[in-house]
Amino acid sequence: MKTEEIDDMLPEYDFEGKPGERGKYYQAYRQGHSVKIHKEDGTVETHYFTLEDGAVMLEPDVSAYFPDSEATNRALRGLIALIPQANHSKALFSDTSLNKSQSF
């Protein structure tokens, strides 16, 4: 049975010859963003979004190696296993266990 491809894309959404720009809104998204909903009655409803607590935004070069949360968590658990036990217990009870400017 042959399936016909249905092209229901409107002409104004023709992206032929217009390459996307990866990460164009990356920094803005990290800071949070708002969405304005214009309603038929003329009112505007604004919704604000930020990263959820515990959410981590990976830099593009890092995310290339981790296709999903499962792969990321598996790699991080492997690294956690390498941390000496004394340091591990400090990390569990300290909000300042890692300096954000610290690089590995």
Distance (Å, rounded) from C-alpha 30 to C-alpha 32? Answer: 5
Distance (Å, rounded) from C-alpha 82 to C-alpha 86? Answer: 12
pLDDT tens digits, residue range 4-46?
A: 677 787 888 877 888 888 778 877 777 888 899 999 999 999 9
What beta strand segments (E) does the chain contain?
33-38, 44-49
What pTM was computed for the model? Answer: 0.40
Nearest to 57 by CA among 71, 77, 72: 72
pLDDT tens digits, residue range 55-87?
A: 888 888 998 999 888 999 999 999 999 998 766
